Structure 1
């Protein structure tokens, strides 16, 4: 962007704290894209649970007069800085066992020792990023009930 490198959704990097390869997960899908992939922003997570921090602004969203329009303006490019945090996390890919197709817009529950996370899979069949302070087994349930919705 503006001739400067950006970190994109799905890009891999080496986490020095976890000592493993990890992928970036963009939380704001589609706000700003390069080559069809969303740009990583401050606070976004990687698959190992580390968060990205802000160095400088790339874009600013304006909350106008309630017209429903969002505007973006380019500023200095942010360099992605990876700051590991001591937490665990995972995103889950839900797919049909027979067709291998992603389960899109399907309600789910992730049961952890600290509670239940309710959500709906995204357009790729992925759950939200579930985190915790320790390595643990979790249970993922697909909710099939016409009256159940997470809109």
Structure 2
């Protein structure tokens, strides 16, 4: 099993979207690459912690290789929007790929270069090693399963 952390705007939609994909073993929503310990949702939304709403993904690379997983990621976001996805704005809604395995960087960069050819504007999705990740509060986990019809900026039918 492999792991990657993806920031794609509101983490509720990201989790629902990736939970529908084959080869995804586990997802957890949380906060990545910020500057404080154990942030709360309110602190993250205040834009003072530096965290991005992020989805932890544990995946089977035989069933869903990283390049295919990233293809799914690009479908779900607009990588040219800075600190915004859908109707959500703020630094916590930036897009990012945070890796734990340095060998994944080559695949990530190749995927980003391929995606960049589709846009006239530059891609602003950050690609960084994972600095830290804190699991979000329980009420955020599987939010759209618990709240059918809840807000989602991603077309789950993609």
Normalised by the length of structure 2, the TM-score is 0.24
Q: Which structure exhibits the higher relative contact order, with contacts defined as CA atoms closer than 8 Å and separated by 6 or more residues? A: 2
Between structures 1 and 2, the one with greater helix share: 2
Q: Which has the larger radius of gyration?
A: 1
Between structures 1 and 2, the one with greater strand share: 1
Normalised by the length of structure 1, the TM-score is 0.25
